[in-house]
Structure 1
Amino acid sequence: MLKKTQISISYVIMGTLFLFLRFKTKKHVFLNSTFIKTSAEQNLQEWIFINKIKKTGQKQSVIFSIGKEFYNQNEQNEKIDFFEIQKSIFDVKIVKKYSQKGRVFQEGIFYFYVLQNNGEKIVNLDQNDVFSFQSICEKNSSFYNYKSWDISNNIKNIPQNKHKLILENNICQEGQKNYLLFLQFTFQPQENYEINIKYSSNIKEFLKEEFLEEKKKNYNIEEILIQRYNENIQKKLKSQQNLQKCTVSAVSNLFGGLSFKYGQLKLLQINHNQIPKPIFSFTPSRQRFSWSFLWDDGFHNAIASKFEENISKEIIKSWLDTMTEDGWICREQTRGEEAEKLCNCPEFLWKDNRDGNPPSLILTIDFFIREHMDIIKELQNEGYVEKIEKWFQWYMRTQMINDIDIFEKKMKVSFSNGGTKMEVQNNLLIVVWMIIPETINIYLNISLQDILMLKVGCIILHISHFGYPNILPLALGLINQDTLELETIVQHIQNENVLWTKYGLRSLAKNDYFFEKGQNYWTGPIWIHINYLVLKEWIWDTFLSFYWLDIYYSFNKQ
């Protein structure tokens, strides 16, 4: 702790930040405390708050209030969140801080802990949220007249009009609400405590190696990771002996690509409200594409959810939390300075809120419906099902052609980049994808005890260019068995002049005029995503498995 003689004080702010309470006498005692801001040296700013509580024979409590930022809250669903901490144990790491004047947005960390009289520092809770300090213990405060200070009970009595509680010293952007968060500390008799709050803009200096090592003392991280890996990955991977090493390596690299980024997006729409948000996701490549891709992450989680369903659940929540008020989710999220520097194409940094990818995250949600209804209930209870529906409505509103209930694929790199101009072919891809969330929406509107499997029909249109859009109805299980459409698709799949190769199904027929022309994204290359969907459907469907066996033996007669 810095001594006062070592601190070059630029200014001192007096505030009533703590309320000292004696439970037996119900007497309110205000503590006038000092906030000290040191002079800035090499972009380093520190806030020190010191308050000592002496020995006492009575049980005491300190209530500390900080503001927690909530973005895009629905006016009808406003609420106050709070923590109740027992026995004076608290540690909070903060990544953003508003200045006292409410004008400067600073990077930094708050470190708040309680020091016992034996010098031992106890740490119990970490929170990575946007916090700021604010005084609430004013005599005109609605909290002043409370007879009891049991937070868990009296939190219910806080006025419902949260606008009365907006923090005056914080920046309040459009769509952003500032709410109060309470932390209650109960002190035991005959003990000395020293409460310390420290803010530093130098994150790297704060997170020294000794600090990190101290954090890891209670956990054998390496042993835990190996145990989890053996239980959740190794034992679940069953493949032929000669493919075992490759399979384990692929799945391990998938989980090794987990990434967390925080920051704003660069939007072409200058009037769009840009609020910094976090994104937690897998990444396609840690070296070349180490930021979040919506389309890719749907397939990442289709696999990852089989091993770590809770990780996939949090990833889906993270994506949905980046949704704008009109239902748009950015398909490539380069949030923060690190992600921007990793992107070697500056034009890709600018996002257009009219662009959308097929909602491949639905693959994982569909898996949760079939295997993890507890997760579906959690998503429902926390309002994420409404967000999924809002996402679907965004597609309906922005991606369809005028007078026809069919979607227009508006992607910078689409199937037509190879030169094909068939509008129906482009639209078919996203039409099929949108059938899935509509079907899941039907599932979720039915009682959770009576999930009904509803068949969704799909009309197969005749298209002169045969490729992935044609086989998506099959890959997504939207085609009826024993039909001419199914037989036609299977014949094209096993034709080596159309889609079949030794390494998977190509994206466009080999005998097509546009094969391997143009930007060559969808005009020939093999995409493992689509092959995965086809194989998955054939393995699950008993009827289709006969087609699969027939194809397999026709190419492996020896």
Structure 2
Amino acid sequence: MAKHAQDSGHLPGSLLFGLDNAGLRKKGTNLFFAQMIVHGEFAFDVIYECADKTSRIDIEAIDAIASNRRKEFDTRFESSFNLREKGFGDAQVEMARNALSSLIGGIGYFHGSGLVSSSPKPEYGHEDSSEAKLSEPYSLFATTPSRPFFPRGFLWDEGFHQLVLRQWDSDLSLEIIRSWFSTMDSNGWMAREQILGDEARSKVPREFQVQYPDFANPPTILFAVEAMAEQLLARGMTRSVDDALQAGAMEEGMCDEQCLLQSKLDSLAPYTSRLLGFFQKSQAGDKADDSMPPSKAGYRWRGRTENHTLTSGLDDYPRASVPSTGELHVDLYSWVAYMTRLNAELSSKEDTELESHLEMLDKIHWNEQENMYCDVTMGIREDYDELEDEDEGLERVFVCHRGYVSLFPMLLGLVPPGSDKLGHILDMIEDPEELWTEFGIRSLSKRDEFYGQGENYWRGPIWININYLILSSLHRNYMGVEGPYQEQARIIYTRLRENLISNVFAQYQSSRFFWEQYNPEDGNGQRTHPFTGWTTLIVLIMAEKY
């Protein structure tokens, strides 16, 4: 029970209350509530002092101390992102600083039990009879997408958060990545949404609370691991720490910065390998027989419903009109191929699987008639009535919806720079009747029958995380490589980057918020706000750090 604190200090115009810890071993009040009645604009300072008075801060000095801290932050921010060097003005730099500050402010430490199903969720149309139980309590150190609306960890979001955070504090970012990996089970599964404890569950609808051990989520958390590997490669160090020690390249206990980075990377490699194994086993498509490798059959997101594929991260993006176990999803295959490439890089072994994956990705998902990558599903053959065997009446048919899903092979750098497929993808991106807008790349083609329909969540609105991936891939994989589409890639990159920065800045100036998504027709921010999760990627876009 709160009561008026006797030793309230000098707080003019306020009342100070404290929680009485009577009955607890620890004596004294350790939680205070200040009530202030104000009129008009106001400001107040909260000053923490040691009980023994060894470190005092005078009220008169607080402004000077705060000013010095701001200058230190501003100096470090500029050295990390070089925005003034790139020509950005005070207002734009202020926006970027606030984005980073809010992202850091959204870091939280969570502890509790999650609801986890005892078995995989049944496929479409089957009743879920599995029993959900509370897990053993565990902790998670994570960054939240939106403190007031999404105050918990999301696996799909976290990888994008760490791309920004690692540029500011790589050690802090590594601790968050390790915390997520510590939740991984022996099969390589991590719950895609971390709803820990009763308070966290009270903010989530019941139908979304249970986590299923066959539900995957885009492995974006590996982006930061990939960045570490590329950092080492740029420094010319690719051997493991043990190999380096045995070769006498360094003495034990004398590990330099490169060695420390390699050591961190080595500690993460087993998790990335286990995660790939989980995808290959749990998300494999239907096979003709058990001897057939998963890559030959493709991959399918588990957890599909008629209108949603929440596990893909692109919730209501249109897929096959009727869910079936015969579906294969092009974005999922792209993620598997990406993980295969990364695991080969981390192990410093010759890549024997990636080429096969890329061949099957094209064979299964590239539609020559539409000149695009598509999902596929099972359909009835036109000559079905003439067949004697009903099982022969089904065939693979394409499910084509131009938009984010069809871009994934390019987003993850799986399309060769000289491939004519890249040319078709770039044409789709820069076509105003398809994906191009003056505010960013829309999530679904303007010509698609589902554009702007239903929930209209991933059916048109502009998302900064996917736009970042488009810019990143153009910058890393296509602009600097000679080929027939190099100049087109450069032009799209330049125009898209300018459009995104201009619109996010305009919306920030207007509302002082960063938004979950942006309207493709007028650029206005919409849905959740403040959304300082992956929308803060605008800082990296401004800094051109990919």
TM-score by length of 2: 0.57
Q: Report the Cα distance in structure 2 between the residues aligned to 1:451 and 1:231, rounded to whole angstroms.
A: 43
Percent identity of equivalent pairs? 24
Q: Which has the higher helix share?
A: 2
Any conservation in 1 of the 2:152–2:200 contact (CA below 8 Å)? yes
Aligned to 2:106: 257
Match of 1:261, SS state, is: strand
Aligned to 1:440: 342
In the comparison of the two structures, how many residue pairs are matched? 356
Q: Which amino acid aligns with 1:445?
A: S
1:518 aligns with 2:459: no
Q: Which amino acid aligns with 1:461?
A: W
Aligned to 2:188: 327
Q: Which has the higher strand share?
A: 1
Deviation at 1:287, TM superposition (A): 1.2
Q: Which of the residues 135, 140, 144 maps onto 1:274? A: 135
Comparing 217-226 and 344-353, the one that deviates more: 217-226
Superposition RMSD in Å:
3.7
CA displacement 1:341-367 (0-9 Å, x = unmatched): 4x2534333222222211011111110
1:357 aligns with 2:217: yes
Aligned to 2:332: 430
Structure 1: gaps (5+ residues): 1-40, 47-199
1:377 aligns with 2:233: no
Any conservation in 2 of the 1:362–1:436 contact (CA below 8 Å)? no
Any conservation in 2 of the 1:465–1:508 contact (CA below 8 Å)? yes
Deviation at 1:440, TM superposition (A): 1.6
Comparing 405-414 and 301-310, the one that deviates more: 405-414
Distance 1:275 1:510, change over 3 A: same
Aligned runs of 1:2-401 on 2, under 5 Å? 44=23, 46=25, 205=29, 213-214=49-50, 226=70, 229-237=73-81, 238=83, 239=86, 240-241=88-89, 243-269=92-118, 270=131, 274-341=135-202, 343-372=203-232, 374=259, 377-379=262-264, 382=267, 384-401=268-285
Q: Which amino acid aligns with 1:378?
A: S
Q: Report the Cα distance in structure 1 between the residues aligned to 2:54 and 2:446, rounded to whole angstroms.
A: 59
Any conservation in 1 of the 2:50–2:56 contact (CA below 8 Å)? no
Q: Report the Cα distance in structure 2 between the residues aligned to 1:334 and 1:416, rounded to whole angstroms.
A: 18
Who wins on radius of gyration, i.e. which is larger? Answer: 1
Deviation at 1:510, TM superposition (A): 0.6
1:420 aligns with 2:305: no
Q: Which amino acid aligns with 2:262?
A: K
Q: Report the Cα distance in structure 2 between the residues aligned to 1:465 and 1:381, rounded to whole angstroms.
A: 40
1:407 aligns with 2:319: no
1:550 aligns with 2:491: yes
Any conservation in 2 of the 1:368–1:375 contact (CA below 8 Å)? no
Q: Report the Cα distance in structure 1 between the residues aligned to 2:450 and 2:286, rounded to whole angstroms.
A: 29
Match of 1:280, SS state, is: strand
Distance 1:409 1:451, change over 3 A: closer
Distance 1:436 1:244, change over 3 A: same
Q: Report the Cα distance in structure 2 between the residues aligned to 1:470 and 1:219, rounded to whole angstroms.
A: 60
CA displacement 1:76-96 (0-9 Å, x = unmatched): xxxxxxxxxxxxxxxxxxxxx
Deviation at 1:296, TM superposition (A): 0.5
Q: Report the Cα distance in structure 2 between the residues aligned to 1:313 and 1:219, rounded to whole angstroms.
A: 34
Any conservation in 1 of the 2:474–2:490 contact (CA below 8 Å)? no
Distance 1:374 1:427, change over 3 A: farther
Which one has more relative contact order, counting CA pairs under 8 Å at least 6 apart? 2
Deviation at 1:231, TM superposition (A): 4.3
Q: Report the Cα distance in structure 2 between the residues aligned to 1:388 and 1:552, rounded to whole angstroms.
A: 30
CA displacement 1:445-468 (0-9 Å, x = unmatched): 228xx999x887452512331111
Q: Which of the residues 526, 535, 542 maps onto 2:471? A: 535
Structure 2: gaps (5+ residues): 1-19, 34-45, 58-64, 119-130, 233-257, 288-293, 368-373, 375-399, 499-546
CA displacement 1:154-186 (0-9 Å, x = unmatched): xxxxxxxxxxxxxxxxxxxxxxxxxxxxxxxxx
TM-score by length of 1: 0.56
Deviation at 1:548, TM superposition (A): 3.5
Q: Report the Cα distance in structure 1 between the residues aligned to 2:56 and 2:331, rounded to whole angstroms.
A: 48
Any conservation in 1 of the 2:285–2:327 contact (CA below 8 Å)? no
Q: Which amino acid aligns with 1:214?
A: C
CA displacement 1:133-160 (0-9 Å, x = unmatched): xxxxxxxxxxxxxxxxxxxxxxxxxxxx
Comparing 472-481 and 545-554, the one that deviates more: 545-554
Aligned runs of 1:446-461 on 2, under 5 Å? 446=348, 457=358, 458-459=361-362, 461=366
Q: Report the Cα distance in structure 1 between the residues aligned to 2:265 and 2:56, rounded to whole angstroms.
A: 34
Q: Report the Cα distance in structure 1 between the residues aligned to 2:457 and 2:435, rounded to whole angstroms.
A: 15
Q: Which amino acid aligns with 2:415?
A: I
Aligned to 2:236: none
Q: Report the Cα distance in structure 1 between the residues aligned to 2:412 and 2:467, rounded to whole angstroms.
A: 11
Q: Which of the residues 438, 449, 470 maps onto 1:502? A: 438
Q: Report the Cα distance in structure 2 between the residues aligned to 1:421 and 1:479, rounded to whole angstroms.
A: 24
1:473 aligns with 2:387: no
